[in-house]
Chains A and B, each alone.
Chain A
């Protein structure tokens, strides 16, 4: 592997690991506060799956980088500009509708990405993807079912789900953006081009929204800047200030 491919692979792994890390963290914020006990438990399961995946991705990222950084070094000691997650996952939980809509939108992108990664030419990625895809298949099924049910539930639940969709839809486009790193990954058969996943995503989205009686926003404007690290939202800084606090306050301590 050339140095530039290696660097692209490192970035690609950060994108995968940071997505699951930040979303897992957000879901963890619900623990103890969800609308019903059954939902509380289910959401924590998803968070636990995502945290498990994060540890695989970031450990592999550290190995590829070759500078001795562990999963925790990467999670706890980078600052905002070094994070590579999409903007969607750092959006705050807001109400349960926003949380479920964010989950649904991410799950379906995530599932398509993992299916592609199962065929990766790099067996290390393919192995992690094969394990993750089982978990994410369930996440996607569950979040779609909830989006449909609440879209088609009461007047209030419909309104809230539509609000959530309107608010979050501008963060969908970024997941399918393709840059030089993605090109390099696709050329070496390591990861699928994100843009290639969009048609399948759209088909599924239209189907779910129709069942949910929700309308897709017509404006296809897409915020950018998460997966390149060029401009995260303010929310990420606050998230990191909680998540990284102990490691920052007590440098070098073992926990």
Chain B
């Protein structure tokens, strides 16, 4: 009996090893993995964590910008900002749906966010203090996000890749509207220019943090790259972001708050100072300037909304019951 069990266990393991190899071959061949396909448990778990965190980031990311919808300076700016923050809700929704195909429900993921078992991007724990922050968030934060997201359109998991394609298409205006706000402020009154510079000063390093810690300190990277869940190294994307952004700041006449920033002819890119990683890990741990407020806001929305969600469901059930009775 015991021997039999061992034998069964061994053959199961051999079978899994064969499947894992076949799985990797599919990914290497550029095939998409779909919800019902066999996948290694690690792949599934990593994806749930990554897509879930991405979804949470969109939802929590509504808050710092939503903070200015009521105070946008013109009707046009108000409309654009509202449409943009609404898009973020949509992106969160697409991503939750992609994660749901992996066997986790949206409610479960929400609960994991609210009791801090799951994370969201640290950038959204920084406060938006002025209207220029709407510019800086669009220009720098969306700019950095897009850099991460564009390659993910080619990620190996079908539902995730499809969600990213839709998101990237819709995001195309987000960074532009941010830059447009900055541009208007940078060429505006002296006070407006000060406002713009102040926003850049506060958001520059947090934006650099968005690419994650240096590759040398980053765990899980290799396996995730083999699985095509992670497409590029953190440092590579950060460098690309800096190289693209510096000339834009120059165009705006704003100063990037980095005295060491310098063009390096040899590497064909800028040398720049990295962010304070101690601060990064503090924020991740929950000690960012707005962590408490962000989670509080999400918890309040979730708890205050429970009666609405329950009420609509209760009515739907009653209605279905009545329809069934009439048909009978």
A–B interface present (Cβ within 8 A): yes
Task: Contact check, A255 vs B73: say whether CB atoms are below 8 A apart.
Answer: yes
Q: Which residues of B contact A96 (CB under 8 A)?
A: 304-305, 308
Q: Which residues of A contact B93 (CB under 8 A)?
A: 37-38, 41
Task: Contact check, B304 vs A95: say whether CB atoms are below 8 A apart.
Answer: yes
Tell me if B89 counts as interface (CB < 8 A to partner A): yes
Task: Contact check, A245 vs B310: say whether CB atoms are below 8 A apart.
Answer: no
Task: Contact check, A33 vs B300: say whether CB atoms are below 8 A apart.
Answer: yes
Q: Which residues of B contact A160 (CB under 8 A)?
A: 307
Instruction: Give the distance to chain B from A15, nearest Cβ to Cβ, in Å.
Output: 17
Give the interface segment out of A102-110, A134-142, A146-154, A216-224.
A146-154
Q: Which residues of A contact B181 (CB under 8 A)?
A: 255
Write out, one digit per residue, whether chain B residues 60-98 have a CB within 8 A of any chain A CB (1) or not (0): 001100100111111111110011011001101100100
Interface residues on A, range: 35 or more
- Bound CA–CA A160/B211 (angstroms): 45
* Dominant secondary structure of chain B at its interface with chain A: helix
Give the interface segment out of B25-33, B187-195, B230-238, B279-287.
B187-195
- Please report the total number of B residues contacting A with Cβ < 8 Å: 49
Task: Contact check, B89 vs A40: say whether CB atoms are below 8 A apart.
Answer: yes
Tell me if B316 counts as interface (CB < 8 A to partner A): yes
Q: Which residues of A contact B76 (CB under 8 A)?
A: 55
Cβ-defined partner of B96 (8 Å) among A31, A37, A149, A255: A37
Task: Contact check, A36 vs B308: say whether CB atoms are below 8 A apart.
Answer: yes
Known: A28-B69, A28-B70, A157-B314. A45 touches B307 (CB 8 A): no
Q: Which residues of A contact B71 (CB under 8 A)?
A: 242-243, 245-246
Instruction: Give the distance to chain A from B192, nearest Cβ to Cβ, in Å.
Output: 6
Tell me if B311 counts as interface (CB < 8 A to partner A): yes
Instruction: Give the distance to chain B from A150, nearest Cβ to Cβ, in Å.
Output: 5
Given A41-B86, A146-B312, A153-B313, 8 more pairs with CB closer than 8 A: A25-B70, A31-B62, A31-B85, A32-B62, A32-B85, A36-B305, A37-B89, A153-B315
Chain A residues within 8 Å of B, Cβ to Cβ: 21, 25, 28-29, 31-41, 44-45, 47-48, 51-52, 54-55, 58, 71-72, 75-76, 95-97, 146, 148-150, 152-154, 156-158, 160, 242-243, 245-247, 250, 252-255
